[in-house]
């Protein structure tokens, strides 16, 4: 397939998505759309539109996903394995990030591939889960070749803060990362209160008393008949409210004091309402992936563009109190030529859909009702 045919297929997919988005009167945070409550959300009788693939991130050849979920709190971690290696990039936008090995992904640095990555709860403690992934890969002789038999598994990681949900002494560790790796598969990815999304919460600018349950979601796009797949997996633990990407209405967020609706965080900020967020206690983290071949600088640009998906679904986003981070992976099993612009644009689409799915598939826990509970 030549580049012109590829671009025609991309335009067909993005055009269909634009038509779906056109149903909302305003964008995220707009005065008209934000006042409403959406009824069309995954888990309430309305699944993702047909443009999205059945398995989520594992629709990308060469990737496996595994979760470890500790129900005692709850908390957990999610592992993405790319055992044959994948080119990777990263972009960090939030003001309170917690990450590991992100410097290696800078395009000027020598390492060209990673072999796994981790999204984890547990704040900085959760970064230890990457050590368990390294152990698993090391046992299977997978890693960056350093000469002879030496292989060093490169495993970046990013964390969310969920320590105020339950007993903060319970957090993902190296054993959690190892178990998630053992259970990783290329099957359909489980969503909701699992892995890194187990202890995620959202809508916290007015305090935890009014917050709701976040979660983990995933989505994938197949670009026409090209054979190219673009996918995303996101753990949603945001300060802000989450919006329905189809209508611009609030899907879940800071609850109103009367329990009958949402405060509409961005509207309250515009009115001068004092907010109560505390630094470093939030964060949305995710990964976008494709089976196309990308260089490190292209993967980095895709990660940057994918953040637009956060902005379409979360408001406010990229705040001083969030550590918002997106990794980008390219497994390279598709041999044709692709455009970075198309990859980044569709990655943002997949991210916004994954966020909607994370909230729609989440289930309430004590103190944090879910979108499902709120509409029951």
**Which structural domain range is residue 42 located in?**
3-374
**pLDDT of res. 205:** 87
Work out the average pLDDT over 91-107: 92
**pLDDT of res. 53:** 79
Work out the average pLDDT over 324-333: 96
**Is the confidence at residue 204, as pLDDT, over 70?**
yes
Which residues have a Cβ under 8 Å from the Cβ of 314 and sit 6 or more positions away? 28, 236, 238, 240, 241, 242, 243, 284, 355
- Positive or negative, the CA dihedral 345, 346, 350, 353 is positive
Which helix H or strand E contains 15, and what residues bound it?
A: helix 3-21
**pLDDT of res. 344:** 95
Q: For residue 320, what pLDDT band results from cuts at 50, 70 and 90?
A: confident
CATH, residue 282: 3.60.70.12
CA distance 21 to 247: 7
- Helix, strand, coil abundance in the chain, percent, nearest 5: 30, 25, 45
Please choose, from the candidates 71, 368, 81, 355, the residue with its C-alpha nearest in 3D space to the C-alpha of residue 198.
71
User: The whole model's pTM is what?
Assistant: 0.86
Q: What is the pLDDT of residues 229-264, one digit of tens each?
A: 999 999 999 999 999 877 889 999 999 988 778 999
Give the three-class secondary structure for 288.
Answer: strand
CA distance 114 to 144: 7
- The residues with which 79 forms a beta bridge, in sequence order, are 66, 118
CA distance 276 to 282: 13
Q: For residue 275, what pLDDT band results from cuts at 50, 70 and 90?
A: low
Which residues have a Cβ under 8 Å from the Cβ of 61 and sit 6 or more positions away? 229, 291, 331, 333, 334
Q: What is the pLDDT of residues 23-82, one digit of tens each?
A: 222 222 332 233 334 444 554 434 445 578 789 999 999 999 999 999 999 999 999 999
pLDDT, averaged across the chain = 86
Which helix H or strand E contains 10, and what residues bound it?
A: helix 3-21
**Residue 251 DSSP one-character state:** E
Total domain count, the chain? 1
């Amino acid at each position: 397939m030549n580049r012109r045919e590829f671009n025609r297929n991309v335009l067909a997919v993005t055009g269909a998505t634009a038509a779906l988005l056109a149903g909302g009167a305003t964008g995220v945070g707009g005065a008209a759309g934000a006042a409403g409550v959406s009824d069309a959300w995954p888990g309430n009788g309305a699944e993702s539109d047909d443009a999205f693939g059945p398995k989520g991130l594992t629709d990308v050849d060469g990737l496996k996903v595994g979760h470890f979920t500790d129900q005692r709190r709850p908390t957990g971690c999610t592992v993405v394995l790319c055992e044959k290696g994948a080119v990777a990039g990263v972009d960090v936008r939030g003001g309170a990030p917690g990450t590991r090995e992100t410097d290696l992904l800078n395009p000027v640095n020598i390492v060209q591939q990673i072999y796994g990555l981790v999204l984890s709860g547990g704040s900085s403690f959760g970064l230890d889960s990457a050590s368990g992934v390294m152990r698993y890969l090391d046992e299977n002789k997978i890693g960056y070749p350093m000469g002879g038999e030496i292989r060093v598994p490169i495993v970046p990681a990013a964390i969310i803060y969920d320590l105020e949900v339950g007993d903060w002494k319970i957090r993902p560790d190296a054993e959690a990362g190892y178990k998630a790796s053992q259970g990783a598969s290329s099957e359909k990815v489980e969503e909701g209160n699992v892995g890194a999304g187990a202890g995620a919460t959202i809508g916290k600018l007015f305090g935890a008393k009014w917050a709701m349950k976040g979660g983990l979601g995933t989505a994938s796009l197949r670009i026409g008949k090209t054979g190219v797949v673009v996918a995303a997996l996101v753990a949603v633990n945001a300060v802000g409210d989450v919006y329905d990407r189809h209508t611009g209405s609030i899907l879940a967020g800071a609850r109103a004091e009367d329990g009958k609706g949402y405060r509409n965080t961005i509207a309250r900020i515009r009115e001068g309402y004092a907010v109560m967020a505390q630094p470093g206690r939030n964060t949305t983290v995710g990964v976008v992936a494709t089976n196309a071949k990308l260089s490190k600088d292209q993967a980095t640009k895709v990660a940057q563009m994918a953040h637009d998906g956060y902005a379409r679904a979360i408001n406010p986003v990229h705040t001083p109190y969030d550590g918002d981070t997106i990794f980008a992976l390219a497994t390279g099993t598709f041999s044709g030529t692709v455009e970075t612009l198309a990859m980044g644009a569709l990655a943002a689409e997949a991210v916004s859909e994954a966020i909607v799915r994370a909230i729609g598939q989440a289930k309430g826990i004590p103190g944090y009702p879910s979108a499902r509970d709120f509409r029951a």
